[in-house]
Copies of this chain bind each other. A is one copy, B any other.
Amino acid sequence: MITNEDGLVIPTLDDMLEAHERIKPYIHRTPVMTSRFLNELAGCEMFFKCENFQKAGAFKVRGASNAVFGLSEEEAKNGVCTHSSGNHALSLSYAAGRRGIPCNVVMPYSAPEAKKAAVRGYGGIITECQPSTTSREEVFAKVQAETGGDFVHPYNDPRVIAGQATCSREFLEQMEEIGVKPDMVVAPIGGGGMISGTCLTLSNLAPDVKIYAAEPVNADDAARSFKAGHIIADDAPDTVADGLKVPLKDLTWHFVSNYVTDILTATEEEIIEAMKLTWTHMKIVIEPSCAVPLAVILKNKEVFAGKKVGVIITGGNVDLDKLPWN
């Protein structure tokens, strides 16, 4: 870690490499998949890094495991706690369960039932809040004070970003194995944890690879922040992409503002269509949130035409009883 002039603690390449060694026993090396049909539709060659097959069903297990297994015995004694719209909650519960320490999570009552059930399945304890950033932070302050657990922020934490960064390292290795050099990588952006990890790894190991973030129009605070040059936070945006409702924070803003080429947005209809296309043609279950990259690729074909494009499929935790097209 290095501390910059603003006092921000920033993870480095070494932190990512250490994280990867630390978390390997607890994560999958997820596959990279392709689809001839979707390539023809998009006019570019896409390589999908399938974190929907990750432990706990999402990439977030990387950052959560790095935080949990990096704690000393003393630091771990009261367990961990967090707030999360879903996947970080269940990833932290999974990691804490593997280490045998308690995990308290604050989740909006509106989070998908599948995610809540998975948190409980891993032994996590849920306290519900309203689906707004304000309520989430208020309720969380109470839970943290009561439990004394180590706070693992879902994204604005250098340990978490170092963990998420291992995803792009695997991706680069896997592309090298098949002898393909990617031109760009597209990942969804909510709070910016995955994008920050992607920036950390690519800016060090493959600085020529451009990084695009994909965001719902209905929760486009990161895109507006990017244009304005400073963080703009919405309190309670409403989108089918339930994982992308949270705002950027100082640490993720550092990475986004320094390393991202552009933030592209897609409408709810475009996201749902991209989700159905992925389910239909790739035969994989993905969340609405990770359909946003395909949606923006299909919408901005000129940006990606003829390129080799990495696409991070961030998770696969969906309520089958509440699919967005039903």
Check if B316 sits within 8 Å of A320, measured CB to CB.
Answer: no
Kindly provide the distance from the CB of A36 to the nearest chain B CB, expressed in whole angstroms: 9
Hey, which chain B residues are within 8 Å of A52, CB to CB? 283
Give chain B nearest CB distance to A290 CB in angstroms.
11
A116 is an interface residue with CB less than 8 A from chain B = no
Tell me which residues across on chain B come within 8 A of A276, comparing CB atoms. Answer: 320
Q: Chain A 289-326, CB within 8 Å of chain B: the 1/0 string?
A: 00000000000000000000000000010101101011
Which single member of B53, B114, B284 contacts A285 (CB below 8 Å)?
B284
Closest residue to A286 on the B side, CB-wise?
A: B283
**A-B pairs with beta carbons under 8 Å apart, 22 shown:** A31-B31, A52-B283, A53-B283, A114-B280, A276-B320, A279-B285, A280-B285, A280-B318, A280-B320, A283-B284, A283-B285, A283-B286, A283-B316, A284-B284, A284-B285, A285-B285, A320-B323, A320-B325, A321-B325, A323-B323, A323-B326, A326-B326
- Report how far A52 CA is from B283 CA in the complex, Å: 7
Q: Is A57 on the interface with B (CB-CB < 8 A)? A: yes
In Å, the complex CA distance between A325 and B321 comes to 7
Closest chain B residue, CB of each to CB of A55: B36
Name A's B-contacting residues (CB within 8 A): 31, 52-53, 57, 114, 276, 279-280, 283-286, 316, 318, 320-321, 323, 325-326
Distance (whole angstroms) from the CB of A317 to the closest CB of chain B: 8
Which of B114, B283, B286 lies in contact with A57, CB distance below 8 A?
B283
Q: How far is the CB of A32 from chain B (nearest CB, A)?
A: 12
- Residues in chain B near residue A318, CB distance under 8 A: 280
Q: In the complex, A279→B114 CA distance in Å?
A: 12
Contacts of A283 in B (CB 8 A): 52-53, 57, 284-286, 316
Once bound together, how far apart are the Cα atoms of A276 and B322, in whole Å?
13
Minimum CB–CB distance for A45 against chain B, Å = 17
Instruction: Tell which of A276, A285, A286 has the most Cβ of chain B within 10 Å.
Output: A285
The 5 closest A-B pairs by CB, nearest first: A283-B316, A283-B285, A52-B283, A326-B326, A279-B285
